[in-house]
Structures are given as structure tokens and as C-alpha cells.
Amino acid sequence: MKSQPTLIALLLGALAALPANAEFQHQPRAAGIETYGYTWNSPDQDMNRALAHKANARKGEAAYKVCKGCHKPDASGQADADYPQLAGQHASVIVKQMMDIRAGRRDNPRMYPFSGDWIVSAEEIADIAAYLNQLPIPSSNGKGGGANLALGKTLYDKDCASCHGKNGEGDGKKFHPMVAGQHYSYLKRESRESRDQGRRNANPDMVKVLKPYTDADIEAVSDYLSRLAPPKK
């Protein structure tokens, strides 16, 4: 009995010794695909607030400042750092992914400090998404080696096009991202992560499709998509 207060004091001491940063720099962890009963894109208060907001692209341009340091002024991202290309992406997709990172359904500890409500409100996220959506899509994205494009097309048309569109244009209404013209490195990483359940906010249908894919299959599809011309804005 006597040792209990000491133990508590020790524990408290250990907590106090943590850098103040730790408590809010650390991304929370919410239930994802690894959890039994996981529902993809289940209702989320933060997301509903953003989606209900009448988005203003001009305000979004100002709020985008904090993203720009990595995703670049033209929102083309950085292929060699796996920062995705965001220009022209569906607004709903940007909103959903941001909210999944905020809530801890999509693990991204590196981006987390730049995505919280201390720097962008739900409404500003909607504004940013509207701004990004109307940007011209750059064609200078990172591409793969070009060796297995035929295989990539076959697999894409068979397995992916029904959701992501014949030309990789995605579907904003269904929160399915545009994948055409995305960086090869990013597509490859996210597809592998989805297959291996590391992308915890992934759509279970997508995980199922990817399950039998080899790394080479994923590379072929990613390469094909990186070369697919995105829809004209």
C-alpha cells in the first residue's frame, strides 16, 4: 500500500518529463481497416462540417500557405519525396484524406503537425480543397521506367477502372481519387500500403483487389497511371 503513492509520483514524474511537444505532435490513432467492423468513410463530424461549408477557392489559396512548403505553390508535390500531386484533385477527396489524417485513421505522423485544427479549420480545409481542385494539372509528374505499361493497362482496366474511371479521373461524389498524372513513387507506395493494410483508411474493396498483386503488378499499374493524361481543366 505504501508503495502506491510513490509509484504514482514516479509515473507522474515520467509524464512531466515528456517534452511538451509530445502530447500534440503525436498523431492520435483511430480504428481503421485492421479493426473488426471497420466501415470505410463512416460519418465524421469534422468532415461533415467541411463538406457542408460553402467553399471559397480564393480563401483556400491563402490557407494553402501552410501546405505549400512541401506540396509546392503549383500543388505538384515532390516526386522524390513521395509528396503527392494535389492540383486538380477532387475536393471531396482532399477533405476526406485531411480529416482521416486529423482523426488518425490514416497514419501520417510527418504531416500531422501541419494538418490540425490549430492551423487549419474544417472550413479552411474545404476552401483549400476547392482551390486545389481548380488548379491546372501539371504534366511534369514523376513517372516509372516504362517497361510494363501494357500489363499496367490490362490490370487497371480489369480491376481499377470501375471505381477510378476509365481515364483515371476518379469520382468526387464517391470520394474516389483521381489517379491519372499522379507521381509514380506515390502511387506505388500507397498501393503497396493499401495491399498490406498499412493505409488504414483504405477502401476494403481496394484492399481486396490488390491482395493478389505482386510488387511488379503494382509498379506496372502505377507507371501506367503516372503516364495517363489527366482530364483537361
Partner 1 sequence: MFHAAPKILAALALLGGGLTLAGAALAESPAAKAAATVCAGCHGADGNSVATTFPKLAGQQKIYLLREMKDYKSGKRASEIMTPLMANLSEDDMTELAAWYAKQKPARGVAGDPALLALGKNLYLKGNSKTDVPSCDSCHEEDGVGYTKFPRVAGQHVDYVLEQFRLYAAGKRTNGARVMQAVAERMSEQETRAVAEYMASMP
* Binding-site ranges for partner 1 (CB under 8 A): 19-22, 24-25, 65-70, 73, 78, 80-81, 83, 110-111, 113-114, 116, 118-119
Between residues 114 and 175, which has the closer beta carbon with respect to partner 1? 114
Nearest to partner 1 of 36, 118 (CB atom): 118
Shortest distance, position 180 Cβ to partner 1, whole Å: 23
Q: Least distance (Å) from partner 1 to the CB of residue 106? A: 16
Helix axes 122-133, 45-52, angle to 10 degrees: 50
The distance of closest approach from Cβ of residue 209 to partner 1 in the complex, given in angstroms and rounded to an integer, is 30
Residue 23: CB minimum distance to partner 1, A: 9
Yes or no: say if 61 and 75 are a contact pair by the CB < 8 Å rule.
no
Instruction: List, as one string, the DSSP characters of the chain.
Output: -THHHHHHHHHHHHHHHS-HHHHHHSPP----TTSTT--TT---HHHHHHHHS---HHHHHHHTHHHHHHH-TTS--BGGGTBPP-TT--HHHHHHHHHHHHHTSS--TTTGGGTSTTT--HHHHHHHHHHHHTSPPPS------SS-HHHHHHHIIIIIHHHH-TTS--BGGGTBPP-TT--HHHHHHHHHHHHTT-STT--HHHHHHHTT--HHHHHHHHHHHHTSPPPP-
**Shortest approach of partner 1 to residue 127 CB, angstroms?**
15
Closest among 174, 172, 187, 175 to 231, alpha carbons compared: 172
- Give the nearer residue to partner 1 in terms of CB position, either 8 or 119: 119
Least Å from the CB of residue 171 to partner 1: 30
Nearer to partner 1 among residue 27 and residue 92 (C-beta): 27
Nearer to partner 1 by C-beta: 27 or 148?
A: 27
- Residue 33 or 79 having the CB closest to partner 1: 79
